[in-house]
Amino acid sequence: MSQALSTAHLRAWNLANTLMVCIIVFQAGNGDYGVMPTDEYDGDPAAVVHEFDPFTR
């Protein structure tokens, strides 16, 4: 799902805290941003913008 950076950050934070899993925000090739669980991401590490870890505060 592609989206703006601010929307991606809000969605990632919500998912991380609801599901209690680490979530990353990454930049897709077309310039949009996506979110997904960290353990499922197998793309370029340089494309990762932010990681939300619900276990660290």
Enumerate the domain spans of the chain: 5-52
Can you tell me which residue has the tokens 């601010």? Answer: 6
Q: What is the pLDDT of residue 18?
A: 96
pLDDT at 41 over 60: yes
Q: What is the pLDDT of residue 3?
A: 67
Q: Cα–Cα distance between 4 and 27 in angstroms, integer?
A: 10
Q: What is the pLDDT of residues 1-38, one digit of tens each?
A: 556 899 999 999 999 999 999 999 999 888 889 999 99
Q: Cα–Cα distance between 7 and 34 in angstroms, integer?
A: 9
- With beta carbons less than 8 A apart as the criterion, state whether 39 and 51 touch: no
Q: What is the pLDDT of residue 23?
A: 98
Amino acid identity, residue 4?
Answer: A
DSSP classification of residue 6: H
pLDDT at 45 over 90: yes
Per DSSP, the chain holds a count of helices (H) and strands (E) of 1, 3
Q: What is the pLDDT of residue 46?
A: 95
